[in-house]
Structure 1
Amino acid sequence: MLKVFLAPLSLIVLLPANPPSLLGLPQEASRYLPKFKLPIPSRTKLKKAYLKQWYAPWMGMQTMEDLDKVFWIQETLHEPGYDKHLQPYTNAKLQEILADMDIAHYPSVGIRAVVIADANVRAVPTDAPYYLKDGYPFDRWQNSMIFAGTPVLITHYNKAKTYAHIQSSFVFGWVRLDKLAAVSSKQVQTFLHFRHYLTPTRDKIPLANRGVAHMGEIFIKVPHHFRQVYTYAKDTEGFVKLIPTPLHSPHFTPFPRPFTQRAMAVVIDTMLGQPYGWGGADQKRDCSAFTRDSFASFGILLPRNSLAQVRYANNMVDLSHLPPRKKEAYIIRHATPFATILWLKGHIMLYLGVKHHRAIVAHNVWSVLVSKNNTYNIKKAAITTLDIGYKNAKHPPAFSLLARILGMSDLYRYALKLPNKF
């Protein structure tokens, strides 16, 4: 999750309006496409790898055992925090939430299920927010947004039986029980026998009777029916019902898409300018959701947080020892445009290429420091340099994006080297 900001929100809101010229770059990813084309990685291999990971919660996924990891949020239940009205939580209220988690009886079940409607994944079994001094939008109890159709393993319930603790292929946490349906063994086999999937080529496409289709989402194509996909509901016994749903938009394509730089530019352009949303709140994206949804339609299923993403392909290059300009030179020389992710603590960015000898990235970011006492608010998905606010300074300050980059991972090379068997 994004932690690029280094100043409290109370300071940010008192700053003058940001000068629009600070970004200073064309906000269309296609403007940065390299002249050369790369070989296209195997779509068959990418699809197999993606679906194996996607369906892992139904295929013998082990229940997480480390209570400190599963319930990592417990520390907030012992610290002062603020509710949606910016009133401090009482200790009694925090202890009530902690008791409702029923940690002593975890894990209490092991049920295969599917998300039937887009849902929030929460760190605690409540929709109430928890803010520290930085305030909105940083709800520390908001973990992620999870799409309808995502396979999950239910491992536990809260005492009130309003939430289930789930594990998915990329995130774990609490999901409202009315957003989930059980999946029988027979239904699991039905899902596994589907062969064709579709993915959107634009973001937030309206669907008949079921919200919107998001960039990075996949849909099972109804066999032998033109332009129909399955959406989901729950039957009277709590099991999933598959509902054939017509697609009224032309903006869908077979999954996975060919992994090309031009196709990635199209994906990025559909999300640029969209507002920032911590942990997927209000169906918006933060930095890691932006990166994850950028790669998903190509058959690369990244995990939830930025550190896990840069480690995903097992090819992370450690850049922490390099001074800023040498770090940038290494990135420019070795990174694959539109396929390499750059990581700093709490933040992730997608490398696009070079303009005026500076590395260019796309990311969804709340704000960055441009001096020790001045924060530049971006609050959206944008294309920036790595030294935003410092122009061509020979030595960008230690709190700059460039100076804080710790590693990079090339997902194009990962895709090229996928094995034949999984």
Structure 2
Amino acid sequence: MTHVPHPTHVRPALRTLVLALALLALPGTAREQAQAARAATLPIPASGVIGVEDAYLAADFWIERAPAPDAVLMPRAAIDARNARLLREDASMHDLAALADTLARAQVVGWIDGLASPPTKPLWDEAGKPVPAATLQEILANRALEEIPDVQRSRFGLAVERAAMRAFPTRLRVFNRQGETDIDRFQESALFPGDAVAIAHASRDGQWLFVVSARYAAWVEAKAIAEGSRDAVLGHGQRTPFRVITGAKPRTVHTREEPRVSELQLDMGTRIPLAGVAPDQPVNGQHPYAAWILELPVRGADGRLGFAPALLQRNSDSAADVLPLTRANLIRQAFRFLGERYGWGHAYNGRDCSGFVSEVYRSMGVQLPRNTSDQAVSPVFARTRFEPGDSREKRMAAVDALDVGDLIYIPGHVMMFLGRIDGMPYVIHDTNGGTILGADGEPRSLRLNGVSVTPLLPLRFGAGHDYVDRITNIVRVAAPQ
């Protein structure tokens, strides 16, 4: 274990940083001053990530400190009922099973226009070059909005691979600032193998489809979607028996016989039915006894939906059903992503803050809206709302009442509560930044850029506020509304 210096023995620059942390709370009650002092005593290891020792980077460390870690927080029936409510009552969700047999032009145009407005500010590409206006106009024209019919029949499909969901029908990555290469403003989300979609429109070049999934509507490359009947598409995810992926992103076994399902990535929470094939006969050239035989969707040369068996090693992390919703499982599943690079909109084969918490909860059968702005205010979850003028005391009382798995929202970000060490609240979150006060009293970025464990109180939102000041909502997912 790396030696962690005591705050009184750190080198001068770090000692100044520790002292600066004492300014975390504005002058006020003795309780607030005590909170600031508590933050100021956190050790700073060689990593520079304040208050985090090597031992804190293991799930078992937090599970041992959790109250009743294996107690079931919500039974499966209650989770299923709330998922159904989510589809009915949350405007950000789409109930594909309730979709009409035909789609009106106004509905399709509304989905496309509602996703993203035409860019009006300068954008740069990955090479740091300005994106020409003509290029943007070509991308916009590729949407072919004028070709959307007044009425069309509803079409359905399954994702056959992990696929980027884009604001516009293009692979071009664009950024708000020259030199920025992480936050691609055309990147929205991702689909996983077996995700069901409604196919609403095709791009002019035929390379892209505008699809509507349960949680998001966006452009996806056509090669990632196989079109099938409503029954085949919607029924695939309901079939039994099945496996639920509980690892971060295991892959199927390599097969040269069926390359469409060879080493296919399956992200956490993905539900795949088992194939009804003989267990004593080779599958794709290999005996299946040491693996699960999955039935995965594949895309034919004509774009139509088919299915093919694929092997998932039994020693890969999967389960015969969703995991029980317990504090231990919440911690264990969150830590499977620890250290994964932050990926805005699921870029970099990773995920962002809202995607991270969504996939953790999905492995326990809990569905969440896609974005933080929708998760934080969804009508079906128990939540505590804060107004900008709410007192520090009210905010800290809510922080003191946090339970494992609670989701803490600040503008544009969500964190999952882990537990406490000597009264200090800790969180795990997928962050592209992470800021504390530097030795000069100015914000200093930790450049975390990944799934990270951090104490909550030292995290800054600019020089004048910490994260607690900026909390908008706290959502207790593991409780019925």
Residue 343 of structure 1 and its aligned partner are, at CA, apart by: 0.8
In the other structure, the counterpart of 2:300 is 235
Select the residue among 59, 73, 88 that pairs with 1:29: 59
CA distance in 1, matches of 2:392, 2:203: 47
Select the residue among 56, 60, 64 that pairs with 2:99: 60
Cα pair distance change 1:261/1:96, threshold 3 Å: same
Residue 236 of structure 1 and its aligned partner are, at CA, apart by: 4.2
Select the residue among 54, 70, 75 that pairs with 2:112: 70
CA distance in 1, matches of 2:276, 2:82: 22
CA distance in 2, matches of 1:74, 1:285: 20
Select the residue among 367, 372, 376 that pairs with 2:446: 376
CA distance in 2, matches of 1:197, 1:45: 21
In the other structure, the counterpart of 1:315 is 382
Worse-superposed segment, 273-282 or 58-67:
58-67
Cα pair distance change 1:118/1:186, threshold 3 Å: same
In the other structure, the counterpart of 1:346 is 412
1:331-379 deviations in whole A, cap 9, x for unaligned? 222x3312x1111111111112222222211100011332445322111
SS in 1 for 2:382: coil
- Matching of residue 42 in structure 1 with residue 75 in structure 2: yes
- Matching of residue 286 in structure 1 with residue 318 in structure 2: no
SS in 1 for 2:369: coil
Residue identity in the other structure for 1:278: W
Q: Which entry has the higher C-alpha Rg, 1 or 2?
A: 2
- Matching of residue 178 in structure 1 with residue 252 in structure 2: no
CA distance in 2, matches of 1:55, 1:213: 23
Cα pair distance change 1:218/1:23, threshold 3 Å: farther
Residue 275 of structure 1 and its aligned partner are, at CA, apart by: 1.0
Q: For the Cα contact (< 8 Å) 1:58–1:151, is it kept in 2?
A: no
Residue 273 of structure 1 and its aligned partner are, at CA, apart by: 1.1
Residue 116 of structure 1 and its aligned partner are, at CA, apart by: 0.9
Q: Please, which runs of 5 or more residues in structure 2 have no aligned partner?
A: 1-44, 88-92, 254-261, 280-291
Residue 385 of structure 1 and its aligned partner are, at CA, apart by: 1.7
Residue 98 of structure 1 and its aligned partner are, at CA, apart by: 1.0
In the other structure, the counterpart of 1:140 is 185
Q: For the Cα contact (< 8 Å) 1:163–1:175, is it kept in 2?
A: yes
In the other structure, the counterpart of 1:420 is none
Q: Please, which runs of 5 or more residues in structure 1 have no aligned partner?
A: 1-17, 418-422
CA distance in 2, matches of 1:278, 1:325: 33
Cα pair distance change 1:241/1:173, threshold 3 Å: same
| TM-score in terms of structure 1 length | 0.84
SS in 1 for 2:354: helix
Worse-superposed segment, 263-272 or 235-244:
235-244
Q: For the Cα contact (< 8 Å) 2:193–2:266, is it kept in 1?
A: no
Residue 291 of structure 1 and its aligned partner are, at CA, apart by: 0.6
Select the residue among 290, 310, 313 that pairs with 1:245: 310
Cα pair distance change 1:81/1:193, threshold 3 Å: closer
Worse-superposed segment, 356-365 or 118-127:
356-365
Cα pair distance change 1:324/1:249, threshold 3 Å: farther
Cα pair distance change 1:231/1:368, threshold 3 Å: same
Q: For the Cα contact (< 8 Å) 1:47–1:255, is it kept in 2?
A: no
Residue 225 of structure 1 and its aligned partner are, at CA, apart by: 6.5
In the other structure, the counterpart of 1:329 is 397
CA distance in 2, matches of 1:204, 1:35: 29
Residue 51 of structure 1 and its aligned partner are, at CA, apart by: 8.3
CA distance in 1, matches of 2:141, 2:62: 52
Q: How much identity, in percent, do the aligned residues show?
A: 19
| TM-score in terms of structure 2 length | 0.74
CA distance in 2, matches of 1:103, 1:399: 44
Written as runs of structure 1 = structure 2, the 5 A alignment for 1:169-248 is 169-188=214-233, 190-191=235-236, 194-208=239-253, 209-223=262-276, 227-248=292-313
Q: For the Cα contact (< 8 Å) 1:397–1:403, is it kept in 2?
A: no
CA distance in 1, matches of 2:462, 2:456: 10
Worse-superposed segment, 160-169 or 43-52:
43-52
Q: For the Cα contact (< 8 Å) 1:163–1:176, is it kept in 2?
A: yes
Residue identity in the other structure for 2:128: L
In the other structure, the counterpart of 1:10 is none
RMSD over aligned Cα, in angstroms? 2.9
Name the structure, 1 or 2, with higher relative contact order (CA <8 Å, separation 6+): 1
Q: For the Cα contact (< 8 Å) 1:257–1:298, is it kept in 2?
A: yes
Cα pair distance change 1:192/1:284, threshold 3 Å: closer
CA distance in 2, matches of 1:374, 1:100: 42
Q: For the Cα contact (< 8 Å) 2:168–2:219, is it kept in 1?
A: yes
Residue 229 of structure 1 and its aligned partner are, at CA, apart by: 1.4
Count of aligned positions: 392
